[in-house]
Amino acid sequence: MLNIPNEKVRGHQRVPSDTKEFHEATKRDALMRLKKDLDHLLETVEESRKCGVQKEMCGFEALYHRFLQEDGPSVEWDRIEKLPEGAVKDYSTIKSPQEGHIRDMLDKLVVVKLNGGLGTSMGCHGPKSVIPVRNDLTFLDLTVQQIEHLNKKYNANVPLVLMNSFNTDVDTEKVIRKYKGFQVHIYTFNQSCYPRISRDSLLPIAKDFDIENDIEAWYPPGHGDFYQSFQNSGLLRKFIEEGREYCFLSNIDNLGATVDIKILNRLIGDDRQGDKPIEFVMEVTDKTRADVKGGTLINYENKLRLLEIAQVPKEHVDDFKSVKTFKFFNTNNIWARLESIERVLNAKTMNMEIIVNNKTLDNGMRVIQLETAVGAAMKCFDGGIGINVPRSRFLPVKKTSDLLLVMSNLYSLKYGSLVMSPQRMFPTTPLVKLGDNHFSKVKEFLSRFANIPDLIELDHLTVSGDVTFGRGVSLRGTVIIIANHGDRIDIPAGAILENKIVSGNMRILDH
C-alpha cells in the first residue's frame, strides 16, 4: 500500500500539505477500487485460464501502482550527463569472428521479433507482419528466410520467437503453419492483455474477460512487456536450460534488423572484453533531420538509459531534437543476456518509465493506456553499452513511403535480407513524402504505380494530390509533384524527372 501521512485535517484550515494529502488519499482510494474491479473481472475468467490471467493482472496492478506514485517528469533535465567515453562503441571497431566459431555462437542465440502490431494504419487487415513488402514476400517470410539461411549455412539451430498480441495471435498461428518444412523452429507467445482505464474514474472500462466481444476495452501494453511475458510463457527458462545466452530482439517491420555476427562476436566470441559479460546492447545510429523525435541514449545517475521524447519537459523539446546535442537515436534493435533478464525479473527490479497513452474511443470515451518501451529496461542491467551501427540496420516500414523504397531498385533481395544497390552513390536512403489522402493505404498506393519507379539517383521526393505514375518512370535528385485539389497529374511512361517541380494539371487520356 502507499504510505499515507496519518495527520488529521482540522476544520477548513488551509495548510500546504492539504493538497498533498488530498492527492495521496485519492491515490489510495483509486488503488483499492482497482483491486476490487480486478477481483470482479477475475471472477469472469474460465478456470483453465485463471492462473495465467492472474499473473497478467498482477503485472497490470504493479504498473498502475507506479502510475499513481509517479509525480512529475521521470528525468530531471539538468541531471543528464554527457555519455562517458566508450559508452557507445563504433560498429567499425568490432571484430568479425573466425569462421569456425560462428556455429557455436549462433547456437547460443534466440531471435525475437515483436509481432503485436496490426496493419490498420496502412489500410490492411490482420497482423502487419503478413503485408507483402517485396516480390510478394511478407515481413514474416523475409524473417524466416533470413534465419533459415543462417541455420543452413552454418549448420546451426537459431530459433525464431514471435511475441504476438491478442490482436495478431490467431492469424499468426494460421500463417506459420506454412513454414513447417523450413529449417527454423518457430515459437510464439502472447504479450499481456491489459484493461484500458477511464480517464475520468481511473478504473477499467471492461466489465468481464470476454475480450473478443469488447475488444475496445483491452490493449497490449507496449513492447516493454516483453520481459515479463517471455518469462511467464516458460520460454525464457527453456532457452537458458538449453544453454542459450542472448536474445536479439527487434520490430518485425524493421527490415534492416538481421542477425549480426560481429555484434554476437562482441558478446560471446573472441572480441569479448573483460570478465564481466555485457548484459544489454542497444543498437543506435546517427540522427538525421528525419529522426529528431526518436529516443536517444543518455547517461543518468551513472547508468546508460533510453530517453524518449514523451519524457522530455516541454521547454527542452527543442534541445532533445538537436542533432548536435544528441547524436544517436535508438533503432529498437536490442541484445539482452537471458540469465540477466531472469535475474532482474526475479529481483523485481525491472523498472521502466511508464508511457501514458491517451486515446479517445469511437464512442467518445476518453481512456488511458499504460505502456512501457523495451529499451527503457537498459538502466536495470549491469554493463549495458550502445553500438553505433550503420543506417542500413534501421529500415522500418511504417508508411507507404517506406514501402516505396523497399519495393524499388534501391534494394536487391538476398536470402531474405535487403541489400542496397552498389549503383547508388550515397548509402543514405532518399527522403520520401507521399500525401496521406491518396497514398496512405497500401491498396490505393499500389494502384497509382504501373510499376515502381527507378529511384537509384533520388534524393528527395514529395508527392501530393491525385498523381499516377506510368511504367518505367525514373526519379532523380529532388522531385516535387503537386496536383492541386480537383486536378490530376499523370506522369507518362518512361518519363525522367530530375530536379523538377511538377504542379497543376496534367492528364494523358486514351482516344
Active site (catalytic) residues: 398
Residue 70 and residue 133: Cα distance in Å, rounded? 42
How many other C-beta atoms lie within 10 A of the C-beta of residue 490? 18
Residue 111 and residue 259: Cα distance in Å, rounded? 8
Residue 262 and residue 68: Cα distance in Å, rounded? 43
- Say whether 253 counts as a known binding-site residue: yes
- Say whether 128 counts as a known binding-site residue: yes
Identify the residue whose cell numbers are 546508460. 304
Distances in whole angstroms, Cα of residue 113 to Cα of each of 22, 215, 268: 44, 24, 21
- Say whether 386 counts as a known binding-site residue: no
The answer to whether 410 and 456 are in contact (CB under 8 A) is yes
- Say whether 191 counts as a known binding-site residue: yes
- Say whether 327 counts as a known binding-site residue: no
Residue 252 and residue 287: Cα distance in Å, rounded? 21
Burial class (CB in 10 A: 0-12, 13-18, 19+), 415: middle
Residue 192 and residue 173: Cα distance in Å, rounded? 17
Task: Quote the DSSP letter at residue 302.
Answer: T
Residue 17 and residue 7: Cα distance in Å, rounded? 10
- Cα angle 202, 203, 207 (rounded to 5 degrees) comes to 155
- 390-414 per-residue burial string, b: 16 or more CB within 10 A, e: under 16: ebbbbbbbebbbbbbbbbbebbebe
Residue 504 and residue 11: Cα distance in Å, rounded? 73
Task: Quote the DSSP letter at residue 101.
Answer: G
Residue 203 and residue 197: Cα distance in Å, rounded? 5
Q: Which three cell numbers stand for residue 160?
A: 525464431
Q: Which residues contact 490 (CB under 8 A, 6 or more apart)?
A: 467, 468, 470, 506, 507, 508
- Say whether 185 counts as a known binding-site residue: no
Q: Which residues are annotated as a binding site for UTP?
A: 128, 191, 222, 253, 398
Q: Which residues are annotated as a binding site?
A: 128, 191, 222-223, 253, 398
Q: Which residues are annotated as a binding site for substrate?
A: 223
